[in-house]
Amino acid sequence: MSEILFVTWDGGGNVPPALAIAGELTRRGETVRFLGHPTQRDTVAAAGFGFAPYEAASPFSSTEENGALRLLSLFTDSRMAEDLRAELRRRPADLVVVDCLLLGALRACVGLTQPYVVLEHSFDASVRESVLRGPLGLIARVKRLRPGRTWESAQLTLACTLPSLETSRPSGRPANLRFTGPAQRVPAPHDLESHEPAVLVSLSTFRFSGMVPALQRVLDATADLAARVVVTTGPAVDPSELRAGANHEVHRYVPHDELMPHVSLVVGHGGHATTMRALAHDLPLVVMPMDALTDQPLVADVVARAGAGARVAKKAGPDLLRPHIERLLDDGPHRVAAASLGAQIRELDGTRGAADLLQGVLRAPASS
């Protein structure tokens, strides 16, 4: 039995893959715990894992409206390194698994004695582009966090995404990069003709600006639609802020894996976790990115190019949204494309694949 420490942050879609992999490792007999923001304690504890909060790092909550500067500060917070070192002094680990965006924590890993692994929760191209070539990379260089070096020094970088949708060139990928497939529960194949038409609307658990107006425009676009429409607002939006019609159900939270077997289409924000979960259920998507600085526009474009959905603007009005929703609710090639991607996701079983690779890292020292 080994001790594994996951280092995470309160970001919404980055958390489910880590929890899924941690759960699989626990079922295999490993001991797993988390280091993260205090606001994550209940979520992690409910999943059955030990939790230690950051103490030196700046506070952060996904339910607050966090602009670009706040996120850049979070990802380059060098005080996370202090928290990581303190947690390992308190209770050593055999392996540390760090969220790819936590450059401050990753910088500390280079000088540690136990192995560490980088966990990517989106397309590798999106992560490397934003970190190495965007504003985040510039700030990281100023703070001497050396993200390229920290990733390449890791035993592995796990890309929990569908490799057939990856946009990076194979020749440019680092030697330690491994594609696992999305880390999530593997559902059964979905017959969309087995139930009445229904739409799931979910625009992130993270509070992006303009979410309430965007949700309202989707509700207005689907008013009187010949389909049941289920909206999950998440913790960032109070359902009472929205005007719903007779065919709408608005909830703060319902597990998507419970809803997706009974819906025909997902209207989402392009979060990688939600998008991959929808595709795993063979569901086409209307993707409305909430933030241009995240991976959401790339996810939207990838889905559209694959023929499994459509990208719409954040400020698209009901008159623009409704034709896309009506078209994708009907049968057509988009369903074939989504089902093909769903079959790939189910075959890969990224949760199992990621756990296999992490246990391989743990076994490597003993076998060398």
Domain boundaries, the chain: 3-185+349-367, 192-346
User: Which residues have C-beta within 8 Å of that of residue 42, sequence separation ≥ 6?
Assistant: none
102: burial class by Cβ within 10 Å (0-12, 13-18, 19+)?
A: buried
Name the residue with higher pLDDT: 334 or 134. Answer: 334
Coil, helix or strand at residue 53: strand
Name beta bridge partners: 232.
202, 251
Residue 358 has pLDDT above 80, yes or no: yes
Mean pLDDT to the nearest integer, 148-155: 91
- Position 365 scores a pLDDT of 61
- Which residues have a Cβ under 8 Å from the Cβ of 170 and sit 6 or more positions away? none
Contact between residue 98 and residue 119 where contact means Cβ atoms under 8 Å apart: yes
Averaged pLDDT for residues 171-188: 93
Lowest pLDDT segment from 93-107, 139-153, 220-234, 240-254? 139-153
* % of the chain with per-residue pLDDT over 90: 79
* 3-185+349-367 homologous superfamily: Glycogen Phosphorylase B; (3.40.50.2000)
The closest alpha carbon to 215, from 198, 229, 228, 201, belongs to: 201
User: Residue 268 in 3-state DSSP?
Assistant: strand
Give counts: helices (H), strands (E), the chain. Answer: 15, 13
| pLDDT score, position 208 | 85
Identify the CATH assignment for 192-346 out of 3.30.465.10, 3.40.50.1370, 3.30.70.580, 3.40.50.2000.
Answer: 3.40.50.2000
Q: Is 187 exposed, middle or buried (0-12, 13-18, 19+ CB in 10 A)?
A: middle
Tell me how far apart the terminal alpha carbons of the chain are, to the nearest angstrom.
Answer: 19
Task: Tell me the per-residue pLDDT of 22-81, one tens digit each, with 9 for 90 and over.
Answer: 999 999 999 999 999 999 999 999 999 999 999 999 999 888 878 888 889 999 999 999
Q: Whole-model pTM?
A: 0.92
Each residue's pLDDT tens digit, 299-309: 999 999 999 99
Comparing 107-111, 287-291, 302-306, the range with the smallest average pLDDT is 107-111
How far, in whole angstroms, is CA 263 from its chain's centroid?
A: 21
Polymer length of the chain: 368
Mean pLDDT of 205-213: 87
Would you say the CATH fold of 192-346 matches that of 3-185+349-367? yes
